[in-house]
Amino acid sequence: MTIWEAVILGLIQGITEFLPISSSGHLVFLQNVWGIESGLSFNIIVHLATLIAVIAAMFDQIKKIFSKPFFKPVILIVISTLPAVLIALLFEGFLKSSFDGRYLGWGFLISAIFLVIGDFICEKQKPFPLADIDIEKSIDTQKALLMGVFQGIAVFPGISRSGTTISSGLVLGLDRETAARFSFLMSIPIILGAVVFDIIDIGVVSSNIGAGALIAGFVSALISGYFAAKIMLKILSKRNFWGFSIYLILMSLLSFIFI
């Protein structure tokens, strides 16, 4: 992998991790169409970068949680993580095989449908100022668990994790900003888990990819991931998901044609 390929993959990973268009789906698409292969070491690096990016983007919310008794918010995040872990373990073989791109078009299409449903449900919702959001008051155990189920569905490539979790939050009656913020908080243990599973698969962090490419991928994923998370929060306060839905439908068609 060249440094420029690493920069491109890092940018795509960072941007698509938090925008509702599926980071895994885009990486699988590029690997199939352009023949760019990342490898486990590169996956670990860019996942670490996006983990740092979401923590930085959500730092105020995280600080708020830890500035007072935080038992409930942490428990809600843990609860929301459990379905994804269970689904990944139960469908491990099918999940690994899906990364060859055979179901990618369907994954993008499912993501588009989720976004359309979310927009339809909250069409008449009034935007809430970000400062007024209180996750503890808005989200209970049942909502956290249900959003976690949709996060679990999104372990398959092409199905957007942020798109499905935010849309499911909207269907459950959350406002856009609360759904987005909790979705991003939910992503922290999931991204960390992805790093751990990659390390287990690889045994040791070693690769034919040079240090320069790894550093380039890390930096590009970190910067793009941070700004993508910030932009996503601003988009949700003013706009709907229709543009992303159309984009996902186009990606679905391209996947059916080229993969």
Residue 256: how many other CB atoms lie within 10 Å: 13
For 171, the token pair is: 């269907």
Query: pLDDT tens, 92-119?
Result: 888 888 888 899 999 999 999 999 998 8
DSSP state of 101: S
**Sign of CA pseudo-dihedral 147, 88, 36, 257:** negative
Q: What 3-state class would DSSP assign to 23?
A: helix
- 112 contact partners, CB below 8 Å, separation of at least 6: 244, 245, 246, 248, 249, 252
Q: What are the boundaries of each domain within the chain?
A: 3-258
Residue whose token pair is 């996902």: 248
Contact (Cβ atoms closer than 8 angstroms) between residue 179 and residue 111: no
- The series of mean pLDDT values per 10 residues for the chain, 259 residues long, is 88 90 91 76 85 90 72 85 91 87 95 91 57 65 93 93 92 85 90 78 59 90 93 76 94 94
Contact (Cβ atoms closer than 8 angstroms) between residue 1 and residue 209: yes
Output b/e per residue, 40-67; b: 16+ Cβ within 10 A: bbbbbbbbbbbbbbbbebbeebbebbee
